[in-house]
Chain A
């Protein structure tokens, strides 16, 4: 259905646009992916030059005091995340955005899309983007959230035991090629309803897979194209109740499709979220659930750790649950405190080589602080206690510097 340019082409175009744009760039507040430019431009900007540059940087150091060599269970030590974004507005209705990211994967195209807004209630996004799912992804940029890493359901490689758990439910930012239809309607000043529906390439894996292969989902070796010629479909809806500086938001998301080249292995992801904001105090909670079909192979008894069920057949599905609850409280003008409780649970058969069991769980307790030091630069401190059902408990400590350009 959706045939977009292969990622090398998209990346080349993205690089060209960024390079061509940097010289005449005019500074401005970036959207949630970036910050401000370098030189002030007071007064009215000339019409027709609505091109904006934004970016963010985070350098994070993760230490694992409970393990002598943390690298065996995590990507510890220093990691850097950089994003550079350019947006060009073509009048009030059409804009184009390109965002390059540098992190553990090297240079990636995090955004390369056109936005066409017909009305508040109807917008189209076409290109490479993060589809709307849940509440956290809109804040995924390290300059926009207070902790060094992401909640476990959205973890992208910073959790301990990431290999054994194959990360979270839906790593953020989930970037894919496709088209998205979205909009918002205010029924009154106090009630806002958002929706989105999209078709994207979807997660990928090889033949005979038992879970998503995230490297394949983002690897240039697979040309960033859909691996099974079938899009994944998703939708999102959120209701916002507004009263001054107080907001209550609740929403639900879903995505489904197949992830193997033969278009046989199905998956479904569902999520719900709740956000309560009272002035600068935030209480956030999300729950995600993914049901994933595994290839049983010609001889499941040789492949899986556990035998068939009472009916004599092997259950080809596993369930992966994820949640987080987070409280963000301002402690002073420049310091915010964060308390977070998150976790994962996996239920279902596992490969013989897996260190997990048929029902494994992980709970994590995080306490942290985000300290503004100068301009839009912050230091983030956090300590995380991991409570594994299948491994020794661990402690991780993060120190990071993050800021917007």
Chain B
């Protein structure tokens, strides 16, 4: 029982350390539109849909850290993702997602991969 308690204690210490690490390393909360000046409401709607669609298969951070790759590449990737099994991305959804990412590419002048 004592050994079990000790092991539980170690797990608790590990959890506390991990939480501390998470807190100390955390950057500011952000989404697809972080760093873009005054996105219009329709773009905010587009990006909300984009966030929901992308998060179906992977965390949205994978998109966020890739901002800055260029409009043509986004067009290509959105098409690739649309064709993934059960993507849930219809052709019109793809247009909406592209509008969001095109705005980000054009409006966010400080979107660098790995820094955003």
Contacts and interface: CB of A to CB of B under 8 A. Distances in A.
Mostly helix, strand, loop or mixed at chain B's interface?
helix
Contacts of B18: 379, 381, 399
A371 B27 CA distance: 12
A344 to B, nearest CB: 25
Contacts of B30: 333
Contacts of A372: 26, 59, 61
B47 to A, nearest CB: 12
Contact of B4 (A66, A186, A247, A251): A66
A43 B71 CA distance: 7
Interface stretch (A237-245, A295-303, A317-325): A237-245
Given A65-B8, A123-B83, A45 B69 contact: yes
Interface in A337-386: 370-376, 378-379, 381
Contacts of B49: 244-245
A44 B57 contact: no
B65 A36 contact: yes
B70 A44 contact: yes
B74 to A, nearest CB: 8
B88 A277 contact: yes
A40 interface: yes
A105 interface: no
Nearest to A67: B7
Interface string A32-62: 1001111111111100001000000000010
A373 B25 contact: yes
B88 A28 contact: no
Interface string A248-268: 010100000000000000000
A379 B22 contact: yes
Nearest to B88: A247
Contacts of A190: 90
Contacts of A182: 85
B107 interface: no
Interface in A135-150: 135, 138-139, 141, 143-144
A280 interface: yes
Nearest to B27: A374
Contacts of A280: 51-52, 55
A155 interface: no
B9 to A, nearest CB: 9
A44 B75 CA distance: 11
Interface in B85-116: 85-88, 90-93, 105, 111-116
Identify which of B61, B64, B70 gathers the most chain A CB atoms within 10 Å of its CB.
B61
Interface string A15-38: 000000000000111111001111
Identify which of A29, A31, A43, A63 gathers the most chain B CB atoms within 10 Å of its CB.
A29
Nearest to A375: B65
A366 to B, nearest CB: 15
Interface of A: 27-32, 35-45, 50, 61, 63, 65-66, 68, 89, 117, 120, 123, 132, 135, 138-139, 141, 143-144, 182, 184, 186, 189-190, 192, 194, 196, 236, 238, 240, 242, 244-245, 247, 249, 251, 275, 277, 279-280, 282, 332-334, 370-376, 378-379, 381, 397, 399, 404
15 contacts: A32-B58, A35-B65, A36-B65, A42-B68, A42-B70, A120-B83, A123-B83, A242-B93, A244-B49, A245-B49, A247-B56, A280-B55, A373-B25, A378-B59, A379-B21
Interface of B: 3-4, 7-8, 10-11, 14-15, 18, 21-22, 25-27, 29-31, 48-49, 51-53, 55-59, 61-66, 68-74, 76-77, 80-81, 83-88, 90-93, 105, 111-116
Given A28-B77, A44-B70, A372-B61, 20 more contacts: A29-B74, A35-B62, A35-B65, A36-B69, A41-B70, A50-B76, A144-B57, A186-B90, A192-B90, A238-B86, A251-B86, A334-B26, A334-B29, A370-B59, A373-B22, A373-B25, A375-B61, A375-B65, A404-B61, A404-B62
What 6 pairs across the A-B complex have the smallest Cβ distances? A29-B66, A245-B52, A376-B61, A333-B29, A40-B68, A65-B7
